Amino acid sequence: MNIWESRWQEGRIGFHLPQVNTYLRRFSAHLLKSEPENIFVPLCGKTLDLPWLANRTKKVVGVELVSQPVEEFYAENKIAHSIQPAGKLQLFKNDSIDIYQGDFFDLSQEQTGLFAAIYDRGSIVALAQSERQKYAEHLLSFLAPGGRLLLITLEYEQEQMSGPPFSVADAEIEMFFSQYGKLELLETCDILDERLRNKGLDGILERVYQLVKY
C-alpha cells in the first residue's frame, strides 16, 4: 500500500477541503477567460472543485492514483457513471466529469486529448523534489498552446516539517514552468495558523500562479 492509499484509508486527508477552493473562486476568471470547453484536474482526489468547474464548462477530466476517493466522489455527489479500462488505468466516465484512476504518469494526452485549461490545486506539492521536473513536463503535455494553467503551491522551511505537502520554492516553479509560457504570480498569502505552528512551522506561504502556454 502506498502512502496515499494509507492516508485515505486512515482518514488523514487534511488536504481535502469540504468546500470549493477559495483561490479557484477568486481566480476562476483567469482560468476560464477563453471559455474552455474542457478542464483537466490532476491528482484530484474527491474535490468539490470538480462539480463546481463542471457547471462552467462542458467537460472536466481528473486523474487520481487511489480508487477510494474516486468511488467516494461519485457516490457522495450522486453522479451516475460507468467504469471501463483505459490502458493501465480505469476510467470512471460521466457526461460532464470523467476521472482516470491510476498513476498520472501512465496517462497520456493521446487518451484524453489536449485541454484548454488545467487546474492544479496543490498537486505539485504532493511530490518529492526528484519527481517535480518530470511532473511539470508531463502536466504541460496535456495543455494546448494558448491554454491556461492555474497552479497553487506551498512554501515553507522544509526542515521544519516533513512533507507531503512539500515545500516548493518560487524559484523552483520559475525553473519548471517559465520555459513553457508566460508565468505570472497572482497572489502570495501567509497561511500560518495554530495547527501549523504546532507542527513546528514559523511561516508558510501559499502561492497562486497562472501560466499561459506558448
Cα–Cα distance for residue pair 98/100, rounded to 1 Å: 7
DSSP secondary structure string for all residues of the chain: --HHHHHHHHT--TTS-SS--HHHHHHHHHHTTT--SEEEEES-TT-THHHHHHTSSSEEEEEES-HHHHHHHHHHTT---EEEEETTEEEEE-SSEEEEES-GGG--HHHH--EEEEEEESSGGGS-HHHHHHHHHHHHTTEEEEEEEEEEEEE--GGGS--SSPP--HHHHHHHHGGGEEEEEEEEEE---HHHHHTT-S--EEEEEEEEE-
Residue with cell 495543455: 143
- Per-residue confidence band for 16, with pLDDT thresholds at 50, 70 and 90: confident
* CATH numeric code, 24-57+112-213: 3.40.50.150
pLDDT at 42 (0 to 100): 98
Residues 17-68: tens digit of each pLDDT = 889 999 999 999 999 999 999 999 999 999 999 999 999 999 999 999 999 9
Q: What are phi and psi for residue 186, nearest 5 degrees?
A: -90, -35
Instruction: Please give the model's pTM, rounded to 2 decimal places.
Output: 0.96
Q: What pLDDT, in 10s, does the model give residues 62-79?
A: 999 999 999 999 999 999
pLDDT reported for residue 1: 60
